Every structure is written in structure tokens, then in C-alpha cells.
Amino acid sequence: MAEESWHEARLIPTSGINGAEEQERRATSALLAVLSAVREYGRGLLKPLGAPAGTVECYIEVPFMLGEKRLYPDGLIRVTRGGRSWTTLVEVKTGANKLQSEQLENYLDIAREQRFDAVLTISNEIPAVAGQHPTKVDKRKVRSVALHHISWTQVLAEAVMQKEFRGVADPDQAWILGELIRYLEHHKSGALEFDDMGETWVQVRDAVLAGTLRPADKGITEVVSRFDALLRFASLRLGRQLGTEVIPVLTRRELAEPALRVQALTTMLCADGQLAGTIRIPDTVGPFVVTADLRANKVTCHVDIEAPREGRPTTRVNWLARQLKNAPDSSRIEAFVAHGRGSSAAELLAAVRADPSALISDPAKELRTFRIATSVPLGSKRGRGRGAFIDSVLNGVEGFYEDVLGNLRSWSAAPPKLRQPYPPTEDVDDSVPADLASVDYSSQDDSPAGSTNDSAVGGSTAAIE
């Protein structure tokens, strides 16, 4: 038998998974075992939940009595440091299985009786707003016990960032974490990616195209919530590739009241047929906006960047064009002038490359900001694959970073240069005593041709031409 058909032995095998119950049990055991074995990963995943930096102990299917019922939470995590102990129950779902309110409320009751700190849920559900739980429970149940949720996408993203970018000190522990990553990336693990826009997607999409969608229509809330979940998934996926924390941007009011965000998206979808959100990537020129236009069948990403504060208008345009060498010719560039309303000019990048003055409507007005936008066709299918809405948004986001945002750098002024003393242009008068004669340059002296001020401006301008 050819060796190509042999399967390499794995620490966490995907073979032998029969049914959802076995899938959940294996995923739970694998994750909790690695949390206790790899110190850096356990700390990184549990710290945001309130756990101290200490020894991590993990258990699976721990039995508890609630009244006359015996219940088995999927897992239990205890972190101990000195005299302090932090404990959470764990409930896990894989595949398309969803968390159940009654089950979570039972575990919250157990945690309260046992004086545990929290209940942690892990599933493929991605809430629209970070920190929000995807399952509704009785608010009275969470007064003394915290309820946390982590998606499998976030679990995988944290594992990749810890191993590939932040680092694991012990080589054996790094290998163990790599085995968990390999397992979660396998389709049999049940740790699925975001792959569905919901049952009401087709109904809402068709109503948008027909111009009949109204804010009170059934299913619109699910669609706008799933769009925000898609942006969170896109952020986690991009962050996993970049090794940094990429997050959707919401206002403070939207974070405090998620219903405001749903209301804003609902109004936008009904009025304009669009869904939009903002994503921030650390160390880039600024957050970028993702707009899915269902009527125009395109997804557009754009970012604003401040223009240089020195140089001629064409010099400032050239400064931007040089940074967009990898951007497609179809990218749209808009120019905004000081004290102006809206953009003063807009052209495709191909035209700007050929003639920088195409973006200058009035040379007397100062260019202050540029907007760069790229668009790709928008899919309409609710799932994943060719022609799907989800894939077109993901491709648009990642392509925009690769072609545009990742290459942009903010302008900064050239540092000032030391002014050199001028040599005497004439012989010193012999009649003047030597101790009174001075040829030192003063800032009050007249500057000769090619003065320091002219040189400084020229130098700064040359730096951005």
C-alpha cells in the first residue's frame, strides 16, 4: 500500500466521531485539556472572563444535583492562585446545534448554589455585539453569576495568535497547541465557520430588491443581527491571519444598548437597501467601512486618510498614488478640501495615475483628506460558496486590506534641520578691533539667496513628491 494513503497519528484524532454527542464530548475534552496544559493559552482565553493568573484545572461532565435532577455540565474550569479560586461551568455545542435557555438557566442555578463565579458557553453562534450572549435567559439568574460566551471561531483565533504571534515558551506545549488548532480546523470537529445568513435572508433580500421592505417586517431583525455577526467573524478571521486583535467599531451608546444598532441597520436597509459597519485594525491609518449594497449588488470598502500638510496639490495626490501601487485601477479616489462640503472631485485610480490633476478642482483650495474605496460583486445566496453573500463580504474585506489598507502610511512632516552659520562674504575691516569684530550669523540678519527657510520648505516638499 502506498504511503500517501497512510494517516499520521494525531494527539487529537478526528476519526471515530459518530454523531453530535461524540463531537461535542471530544471538542470539550480537547479544548479543556489544552487550556490546562498550555499556560499562555489558558491565561489568554480565561483572563477576559475574570480568571486570575494561576493554576488551571479542567474537568468534563461533572455531576451536580439540582432539586431532584442530576445534571451533567459539559465541563468545569477552576483557576487557583494563592487563596483565591475562580470557577466556571462550561456548556459546549458544535455544528449547527444551538444553546438552550432552560439548560443554561439550570447551570446558572447550580453555579449560584455552589458559589461558582460564572457559566461559560462555547458554540458556533456569534453574537452581533461583543460581550452579548446569543441566548436569552432570565436576567435574575445572572445577578450573582456571570454568563460568558465564546464562539469556536474566537477559540481558534486565540489559539493561532498565541502560537504563531505571541509565542509559547515551552516547545512541547507549542506542539500541543498546534494539535488543537489542527483539530479545530478539520471539518469533522464541528467548530464551523460562519456559514448562514438565516432562514429569513431570502425573504428580506427579495423585499429589498422589490422596494417593499418595511421596519416591522418579519425576519429583518435576524438579518441585520447576522450581518453584524458576519463583521465580527470577518474581524476574527482577519485578526487570525494578521496576528492582532481586529474588532468591529460601535459607538458607546450602541455597546450599551444593542437595540440601537439593530434599529440603525434596519432603517438603513429599508431606506437605502444597504448594510454597513466599521472595522478597526491596529496600526493602520484608520478604521474602514464595509457597505453591502443589495440593490447595486456590490460590497464596497473605504477608508479616509489625511492628505499631507505641505506641498503643491499635485504633490499631495502623487504621495497617495505611490502608496496605491498594488490597488486595482478600478479603485475610486475622492478628494476633500478644507471647509468644503462633500468631496470636491472623484476619479478612478487609473485616471489619477495618468493625470494627478484630475483630483484637483480648484488649485487655490487646500486638499485635506482622501477617501479610497474598492468594490467587488455582491453574492445573493444565504450560505457559503460561489455566489454567496457571506463569501463576497469576506473577500471584499480581505482584498481591501491586502491591496489598499495594508500599504497606506500616514503623512508626517520632515523634522526641522539645524541652521548652519554663514561664512563672511567680505574681509573684516582692519580698523575694527579684533575683539569687537563678529562674523557670526544672527537670526536678525538678512538671509542671502537660497535662505534656510526656502531650503527647509523645499526639503519637506521633496520628501513627499
Mean pLDDT of 342-361: 90
Which of the pair, 129 or 23, is modelled with greater confidence? 23
pLDDT for res 432? 54
User: Is the backbone of residue 79 left (phi > 0), alpha (psi -120 to 50) or beta?
Assistant: beta
The answer to whether residues 174 and 163 touch, using CB atoms and an 8 Å cutoff, is: yes
- Render pLDDT for 95-147 as a digit per residue (tens, 0 to 9): 889 999 999 999 999 999 999 999 999 999 988 777 789 999 999 999 999 99
Q: Report how far Cα 428 is from the mean position of its chain's Cα atoms.
A: 69
pLDDT for res 155? 93
- Render pLDDT for 139-155 as a digit per residue (tens, 0 to 9): 999 999 999 999 999 99
Which residue carries 489625511 as its cell? 306
What are the phi and psi torsion angles at 441 (to 5°)? -75, 140
Q: Is the pLDDT of residue 374 over 90?
A: yes
Confidence of residue 445 (pLDDT cuts 50, 70, 90): low
CA angle 206-207-209, nearest 5°? 65
The pTM of the full predicted model, rounded to 2 decimals, is 0.79
CATH class for domain 10-189? alpha beta
Which residue carries 485601477 as its cell? 329
Round the average pLDDT of the chain to a whole number and report it: 87
Q: Is the pLDDT of residue 233 over 80?
A: yes
**Range in 10-24, 158-172, 287-301, 310-324 the model is least confident about:** 10-24
253 CB neighbour count, 10 Å cutoff: 9
Which residues 6+ apart lie within 8 Å of 119 measured at CB?
Answer: 88, 89, 90, 91, 104, 107, 108, 111, 145, 146, 147, 148
The answer to whether residues 157 and 60 touch, using CB atoms and an 8 Å cutoff, is: no
Confidence of residue 425 (pLDDT cuts 50, 70, 90): low
Confidence of residue 416 (pLDDT cuts 50, 70, 90): confident
User: Is the backbone of residue 41 left (phi > 0), alpha (psi -120 to 50) or beta?
Assistant: alpha
The answer to whether residues 121 and 135 touch, using CB atoms and an 8 Å cutoff, is: yes
Which of the pair, 207 or 440, is modelled with greater confidence? 207
Q: Is the pLDDT of residue 326 over 70?
A: yes
Which residue spans of the chain are classified as CATH 3.40.1350? 10-189
Mean pLDDT of 415-436: 63
Q: Is the pLDDT of residue 283 over 60?
A: yes
